[in-house]
Amino acid sequence: MALDDSHLAYPMRRHGMDHDRYAWSMLTDRPPLHWPGGKPLAVWINVSVQHFPMNPGAALKLPGSMTMPYPDLRHYTLRDYGNRVGIYRLLQALREARLQASFAVNAALVDRYPALADALLAHGGEWLGHSWSMDTPHAGAVPPEAEQAVIARSLALLRQRSGQPVRGWLSPGKLQTARTPELLKAAGIDYFCDWVNDELPYRFHTTAGELWNLPLATEIEDRFVVLDNLHAEASWADQVIDAFELLLAEARAQGGRLLSLSLHPWVMGQPHRMRHLERVLAHIAASDAVWCAQPGEIVALAAAQEPR
Amino acid sequence: MNAPAAPRREDTGHYGYWPYAGRPRISWPGGARIAVWVAPNIEFYELDPPLNPQRAAWPHPYPAVPGYSIRDYGNRVGHMRQMALLDKYGLRGSISLSTALCIHHPEIIAMCRERDWEFFSHGIYNTRYTYGMSEAQERAMILESMDTIERHAGRRPAGYLAPALSHSELTLDLFAELGGRYSCDLFHDDQPTPLQVRGGQRFVSVPYSLELNDTIAYVVNKVEPRRYGQMIKGSFDRLYAEGADSGTVMCIPTHNYQVGCPHRLKAFEDALAHITGHSGVWLTTGREIAEHYLAHHHDAAVADIARHAGAGATTGQEA
Please tell me the predicted confidence (pLDDT) of residue B6.
76
Please tell me the predicted confidence (pLDDT) of residue A22.
98
| Least confident among A89-103, B5-19, B70-84 | B5-19
Q: Would you call the peptide bond into B63 cis, given omega within 30 degrees of 0 as the criterion?
A: yes
d(CA B319, CA B313): 15
d(CA A268, CA A270): 5
Indicate whether B319 pLDDT > 50: no
d(CA B269, CA B232): 11
Segment (H or E) for B288 = helix B286-296
- Per-residue pLDDT of A225-268, as tens digits, reads 999 999 999 999 999 999 999 999 999 999 999 999 999 999 99
Distance from CA of A125 to the nearest CA of B (A): 26
Q: Would you call the peptide bond into A71 cis, given omega within 30 degrees of 0 as the criterion?
A: yes
d(CA B59, CA B55): 10
Per-residue confidence band for B309, with pLDDT thresholds at 50, 70 and 90 = confident
Per-residue confidence band for B1, with pLDDT thresholds at 50, 70 and 90 = very low
Chain B CA closest to residue A61: B60
Count other Cβ atoms within 10 Å, centred on residue A166: 26
Distance from CA of B188 to the nearest CA of A (A): 28
DSSP string spanning A203-224? EEEETTEEEEE----STT-HII
Among B124, B141, B263, beta carbon nearest to A242: B263
Mean pLDDT of chain A: 97
Per-residue confidence band for B7, with pLDDT thresholds at 50, 70 and 90 = confident
Per-residue confidence band for B318, with pLDDT thresholds at 50, 70 and 90 = very low
Which carries the bigger pLDDT value, residue B7 or residue A203?
A: A203
Q: What is the pTM of this model?
A: 0.96
Mean pLDDT of chain B: 95
Indicate whether B36 pLDDT > 80: yes
Residues of chain B above pLDDT 70, percent: 96
Mean pLDDT computed over B24-40: 98
Q: ipTM of the predicted structure?
A: 0.97
Q: Do A26 and B79 touch (CB under 8 A)?
A: yes
Indicate whether A176 pLDDT > 80: yes
- Per-residue pLDDT of B41-97, as tens digits, reads 999 999 999 999 999 999 999 999 999 999 999 999 999 999 999 999 999 999 999
Per-residue confidence band for A307, with pLDDT thresholds at 50, 70 and 90 = confident
Mean pLDDT computed over A208-224: 98
Please tell me the predicted confidence (pLDDT) of residue B313.
45
Any idea what DSSP says for residue B13? S
Give just the sign of the alpha carbon dihedral B141, B142, B144, B145: positive
Asked whether B240 and B280 are in contact (CB, 8 A), the reply is yes
Asked whether B127 and B45 are in contact (CB, 8 A), the reply is yes
Chain B CA closest to residue A232: B224
Indicate whether B2 pLDDT > 80: no
Q: Which residues are paired to A129 by β-bridges?
A: A105, A169
- Per-residue pLDDT of A127-157, as tens digits, reads 999 999 999 999 999 999 999 999 999 999 9
Please tell me the predicted confidence (pLDDT) of residue B308.
87
Q: Do A242 and B266 touch (CB under 8 A)?
A: yes
Residues of A in contact with B125 (CB under 8 A): 10
Mean pLDDT computed over A78-90: 98
Q: Is B202 exposed, middle or buried (0-12, 13-18, 19+ CB in 10 A)?
A: middle
Distance from CA of A291 to the nearest CA of B (A): 18
B148 in reach of chain A (CB within 8 A): no
Indicate whether B316 pLDDT > 50: no
Among B65, B77, B141, beta carbon nearest to A199: B77
Number of Cβ pairs closer than 8 Å across A and B? 156
Per-residue confidence band for B315, with pLDDT thresholds at 50, 70 and 90 = very low
**Closest C-alpha among B277, B144, B246, B299 to residue A7:** B144
Chain A CA closest to residue B80: A28
Q: Do A6 and B70 touch (CB under 8 A)?
A: no
Please tell me the predicted confidence (pLDDT) of residue B3.
61
Per-residue confidence band for B317, with pLDDT thresholds at 50, 70 and 90 = very low
Mean pLDDT computed over B22-50: 98
Mean pLDDT computed over B139-162: 98
Q: Do B77 and A27 touch (CB under 8 A)?
A: yes
d(CA B83, CA B270): 15
Asked whether B40 and B95 are in contact (CB, 8 A), the reply is yes
Please tell me the predicted confidence (pLDDT) of residue B4.
65
Q: Do B104 and A178 touch (CB under 8 A)?
A: no
Indicate whether B108 pLDDT > 70: yes
What's the start-to-end Cα distance of chain A, in Å?
A: 53
